[in-house]
Structure 1
Amino acid sequence: MQEFIEIEPKQYLEFDAEENKFAHAQLSLKNLTQQDVTFKIKTTTPTLFQVKPSLGLINPNQTQIIEISTSQPIKSDAKFDPKFQVNASLIDFQDQDLNQFWKNRDQSTIQSQQIKSRIKHNVQQDVQSHQQVPDSKILESTINNSQQQDSKMFKSVIESKTEKDDQIKLYKDQYEKLQQEYQDFRKKIELETQQAQSRKEKNNMSFFQLLLAVVIALIAGYLIGN
C-alpha cells in the first residue's frame, strides 16, 4: 500500500502527565503526494481524549499538526495504554463531504497506521525525587537488595541440589525395582522349566510302564498257549 502521509511519532504518542493538569501530545501528518489527502483519526477511548482536528484535508507537501489532550488529569503512575488509528486517503476534490467520503471509502485505498500511547517520564522530577531521599535510606535500600539477591542465590543453589538428590533417589528406587522384577521373572522361568521337565519325565515313565505291561502280557499269552 502506497503511503500518502508521513506520521510522527510513528510508534508511541507520549503524553505529559502533571498533577491536576490535562495531559497533552501532538501528532504530525505530512502529505507525501502531489494531490490533496484527507485524514481521519480514531481512538480506542474516545471519551478520554479531545483530538483537534480528528478529520481534515492536507494539501500537497504540507503538514498538519494534530493537538490531542485528555479530558481529565492523568496520574503518572496510572495504567495508560490507549491506541490511536490514523487513516489517510487521496481525495478527488476539496469541496467533497469528508464524512460521507469516509463512510463509502474502499478499505484497499486507505493508508492505516496504529499508534500506541504512553505517559512521558519527567527526568527532572525523577532526579529531584532521588535527591530528596536521604543517603542512609539509599544505602539501606542497597544493602537490603544485595541481601535479598544473595538469599535468592543461596536458596536457588539449595533447591537445585535438593532437586538433584531427589532425582538420583528416584532413579535408584526405579533401578532396584527393576532388579527385583528381573529376579522374580527369572525364578518364575526356572520354576516353569523345572515343572515342564518333570512333566516330560513323568510322561516318559508312563509310556515305559505301558510298554512293559504289553510285553509281559504277550509273553504270558505265549506261555499259556503252549
Structure 2
Amino acid sequence: MTLKNSTHDQPEMLILKVFLAVLAYIVTTVNLFGNPLQPIFLATDWSDRLGIPYWRVIALLGVAASALVFARSLRKIITDAVKPAVFVILTVLLPTVIVGLWADGIRHRAVVAFGADEVEERSFFASIREAPAEFQYFLHTAALKDCVPYAWSYRTLSFYRLQPNVGANVLPEPWKKRCGIALDLHSSSDANREWHVHFPTQAVPPTAKPIRLSNYDVPALRKTSSSRSSASSTASRRISARPGSP
C-alpha cells in the first residue's frame, strides 16, 4: 500500500519540483538581471564583453558549489521538493555575486589610478541590468579629466574617451555646464546643416553660455530659406515677363 501511494505521488512531485525550479529562476533573474533572458545572453553571445580573466572558470566553480544542496548531509535541512529550486537560485546567484564583486574591485582600483577630476561610479550589478542595449544611454562609470569625458569598458578593463555626440547625451548635467559641453549648430555648407558637439580644451568661464539645442528652430530656418528662394524665383519671372524683354 505504501509502495503504491509512493509510485502514485511521483509525477505530482516531479511537476512540483519543476514548477518551483522555474519559478525560482524567473524570480532570481528578474531581480538580478532585469529579465530571465539576460543572463543567458551574457553567458553566451555577449560573453566576450567581459574582459576579466578566468571569469568563466569562477562561474563554473560557483555552479559546482551549488550542487552541494543535493548532498545527503543536507537532507534534513532542505526537503526534496525544494532542492532543485535552491540549486537554481544558487547557480544564478553565486557566480554573479563572485564575478560582480571582483569586477567592481577592478573597476574601482582603475578609477583611483586614473585620477579623474569627477567620477560617477555604477556597480557591476547595475551594468548587467542595463547593458548592452541598442540605444545605450548607460555608462558603467563616467569620468571627467581636464574637461575631457571618459567611460569605463568592461571589455578592455580601461577607460576610453567618449565620442562628442555620445558625451552630450549621457554625461551628468553639472559636468556639461562646467565644461561647456553642449549641442551647437554647425553649418557644413550653405544648403546642409547638422548638429555637432564641441568639447573645449579648457573649462569655459562661468560667464560663457553654452549653446543649447532649444535656441534654434530648425524648421523655421528651413522655412525662411525656402521663402527667400520662392520670392527670388517669383521676382525673376516678373522681370522676364516685361514687354520687350527677350
TM-score (norm 2): 0.24
TM-score (norm 1): 0.25
